[in-house]
Chains A and B, each alone.
Chain A
Amino acid sequence: MKKRTMAILLSAVMAASMACAVSASDFTGDDPQLEKKVKILTIWAEDNDNGILLNKICQDYKDNVNPNFDWEYEMVSADDLRQKIATLAASNDLPDIFAYESGAPLLDLIETDKIVDISEFLAETGTEEYMNPGAAELMKGLSGTEDLYDLPLGLNVEGFWYNKALFEQAGVEAPATWDEFEDVLAKLQEAGIQPLTTGGSDKWGATRLINAYAVRANGNDIMTKAANGEVAYTDPGLVAAADKLAEWAAKGYFGEGITTVDMNTAGSMLMSGKAAIFYNGSWFTQNLNDESANLAGPDGIGFFNIPVVDESISTGTSYSMNCGNILAVDKGKYDEGTKWFLKYFMENMGNLAMDTLGSVKGYTYTTAVEDMSGYTQMVLDEIDKATEGFAWWEAKMVNEISTTAQENVQPLLNGEMTGEEYMQSIQDVYDLQ
């Protein structure tokens, strides 16, 4: 008797779950044109970069596939994004889809079960093939999870941009090894040229430089190790990297008052020939392609990857890579309508980004663009060369540590702190966690 009931129950459960599975996993046919309004919160203006893409893809989906679809696009400034998301999350009112920061901030949302498992979504809708595998690996690595929880909106490499005319004037060439690099810097200074500039007031521009040397001298995974506690932040290798930045600043490579210069100004200084080298990501091509801003002209700026200290520790084809600010999907509002829209998003984003902006956003694409600018092509070539990627300085640090790491880079640049004190201040906060 008991057994029979069990069996019936079991089969009923199985039938139910199968019915469920069938109806949920059927994303092969036509779009059911569900009534749906999604709210999208981002940091890009509607006529700028990803803002264009997101609005275009919503419009396309509404025009071509689902007339019952509608969307609301909202933008906050990048500085206020975290605050906004924190307030919204606190009252369970996150938008359907929103821009966020990968790494530790995203991990908070994953751990509190606020956002959708994107790997599951991809499997369910059969859209895995549209995701660039490199981008997927990068993002999983950043959040340290097996599954993917975010959608990329960029696939960037970072490195040093340099002003070709100034290099010629000082008689130097783009360096491949770190020793050559130091040599180039010294020669530029001798020639009366300010060798380096960075966004000291935006802080992350400066910490990237510490990261550059730290990774090249200690290996691509050094910051992950530090975050896991395998290596102390006060490790001599990391202290040496911080000292490197302080040393450059003390030598006057950055000119005076570098902590007051923002990334935008630093970029203009490079383009107008006031500084020779500037560390930034591939998104910088946007400025380079702007003829009114780029006084160096369409071929005046070059790019070199972070020079190599020791090929056996970190190779010349490993790049600092990231996916920029990513998109996350709120779990509470996630339904069939969202899935269909996101399926369309996956299938078309790659081509759309290539067609409208000529850039790679982390999705596969099939179109080819003909009259691409030299700078855009240059970046695509660099991305193709990449065999391995590593993240930025603060990627693995939780908010509190990353704030300390960023804030204290300014006293480090000013000579008010030594490399050791700088790393110790990071270690102190780490120990508190």
Chain B
Amino acid sequence: MKNVLGNRKAIALFVVPALVIYSIIVMLPVLWSLYYSFYNGSPGLKWEFCGLDNYARLLKDKNFRNALSVNGRYILITVIGQVGLGLVLSLMFRFWLHRCKTLVRTLVFFPVVLPTVAVGQLFAKIYEIQPNYGLLNSFLDSIGLSRFVQPWIGQSSTALWCLCVMDIWVAMGFYSVIFYGALLDIPDDIIEAARIDGAGSFSLFGRILLPLLRPMIITSLVFSFSGTVKMFESARALTNGGPGSATKSLSMYMYDVSFTYNKVGYGSVIALVIFLICVLGSIVINLFDVKD
């Protein structure tokens, strides 16, 4: 057994090609960015060594701090929403649903398939206030809550929430399907036994289901976290970072700095910060992944 699984030639054959492609195309550019971060300007256009200036600039940059805070709040709300609601939905499907299981699972998965541009446009129409009330405002208006009619994505106080709701909507079906599959794998007799022992719904969930689901929850958290740290397409599609810079994420700011302001060096510093956040975040999440 050991001989077979320890076959060095085979390991090399399995791993090396992928390793080479991955190193050149994914990892090398990251290092390259590190080198860029010591330069000012754009390669090809005013390109000069500037030492640690870019890093010093980062500390003073108000826009960066704003983007960091926007991104942080977005990650917090969206990760909790996506994974939490996914879990709730999956429990509903597991215990309430008796017919059409496959159909329901198929349907809730749909939004993941849609191009982000299309989703953004759809939600812009839902939140619309001018020239016509969108879905949300006309609903509020028709049930007599017209004082709550407002420009949802047009004001700083609600725009980020609206964006989070959209991204939660897109992904919650995806996570519910993951959790639902996991719940199905938990044998009925374990649940029955707990019920007979007098466990209520909450203690059933807390004592039996949650521990069993933990690996799946951690995987989902990693998924969701890495997706939300990159926050870019959806914000660009729905609000384009606005109003003002109320929904401008780190990636969007980095994109602006590199390509609009032609400061690729400084953009690289921001990119490295995003990268660092990713690494830190996954370390934190993996702390929960204690192996019993």
Within 8 Å by CB, do A and B touch in the complex? Answer: yes
A-to-B contact residues, CB < 8 Å: 82-83, 86-87, 89-92, 108-109, 111-112, 114, 200-201, 203, 255-261, 265, 268-269, 274-275, 399-400, 403, 407-408, 410-411, 413-414, 416-417
The answer to whether B243 and A411 have CB atoms under 8 Å apart is: yes
The answer to whether A407 and B242 have CB atoms under 8 Å apart is: yes
Partner of A83, one of B130, B245, B259: B259
The chain A residue sitting closest to B153, CB to CB, is A260
The answer to whether A257 and B259 have CB atoms under 8 Å apart is: no
The answer to whether B44 and A414 have CB atoms under 8 Å apart is: no
Residues of B contacting A82 in the complex (Cβ-Cβ under 8 angstroms): 259-260
Chain B interface size, as a band, is 20 to 34
The answer to whether A256 and B151 have CB atoms under 8 Å apart is: yes
B120 contacts A by Cβ under 8 Å: no
The answer to whether B264 and A414 have CB atoms under 8 Å apart is: no
Q: Whole-angstrom distance between the alpha carbons of A373 and B275 in the complex?
A: 56
Q: Whole-angstrom distance between the alpha carbons of A201 and B127 in the complex?
A: 14
From residue A404, how far is it (CB to closest CB) to chain B in Å?
A: 8
B200 contacts A by Cβ under 8 Å: no
20 new A-B pairs (CB below 8 Å) besides A112-B46, A256-B130, A260-B124?
A82-B260, A87-B259, A90-B264, A92-B44, A111-B46, A257-B128, A257-B129, A257-B150, A257-B152, A258-B151, A274-B131, A399-B261, A399-B262, A408-B244, A410-B244, A411-B244, A413-B243, A416-B155, A416-B156, A416-B243
Given A400-B261, A403-B256: A86 in contact with B42 (beta carbons within 8 A): yes
Q: Whole-angstrom distance between the alpha carbons of A114 and B42 in the complex?
A: 13
Question: DSSP majority for the B interface?
Answer: loop
- Give the number of residue pairs across the A-B interface with Cβ within 8 Å: 108
Residues of B contacting A87 in the complex (Cβ-Cβ under 8 angstroms): 259
The answer to whether A260 and B262 have CB atoms under 8 Å apart is: no
The answer to whether A411 and B156 have CB atoms under 8 Å apart is: yes
The answer to whether A257 and B130 have CB atoms under 8 Å apart is: yes
From residue A200, how far is it (CB to closest CB) to chain B in Å?
A: 7
Q: Whole-angstrom distance between the alpha carbons of A49 and B150 in the complex?
A: 37
From residue B36, how far is it (CB to closest CB) to chain A in Å?
A: 10
Residues of B contacting A259 in the complex (Cβ-Cβ under 8 angstroms): 151, 154-155, 242-243
B43 contacts A by Cβ under 8 Å: yes
Given A257-B129, A257-B130, A261-B131: A86 in contact with B154 (beta carbons within 8 A): no
Partner of A89, one of B45, B155, B245, B248: B45
From residue A204, how far is it (CB to closest CB) to chain B in Å?
A: 13
Q: Whole-angstrom distance between the alpha carbons of A256 and B152 in the complex?
A: 10
The answer to whether A256 and B156 have CB atoms under 8 Å apart is: no
Partner of B131, one of A92, A201, A269, A403: A269
The chain A residue sitting closest to B62, CB to CB, is A428
Residues of A contacting B153 in the complex (Cβ-Cβ under 8 angstroms): 260
From residue B74, how far is it (CB to closest CB) to chain A in Å?
A: 18
The chain B residue sitting closest to A260, CB to CB, is B154
Q: Whole-angstrom distance between the alpha carbons of A83 and B243 in the complex?
A: 22
Given A256-B130, A407-B242, A414-B154: A399 in contact with B45 (beta carbons within 8 A): no
Q: Whole-angstrom distance between the alpha carbons of A410 and B240 in the complex?
A: 12
Residues of B contacting A92 in the complex (Cβ-Cβ under 8 angstroms): 44
Q: Whole-angstrom distance between the alpha carbons of A83 and B127 in the complex?
A: 30
The answer to whether B260 and A403 have CB atoms under 8 Å apart is: yes
Q: Whole-angstrom distance between the alpha carbons of A255 and B133 in the complex?
A: 12
From residue A269, how far is it (CB to closest CB) to chain B in Å?
A: 5
Given A89-B45, A259-B154, A399-B262: A410 in contact with B242 (beta carbons within 8 A): yes
The answer to whether A256 and B242 have CB atoms under 8 Å apart is: no
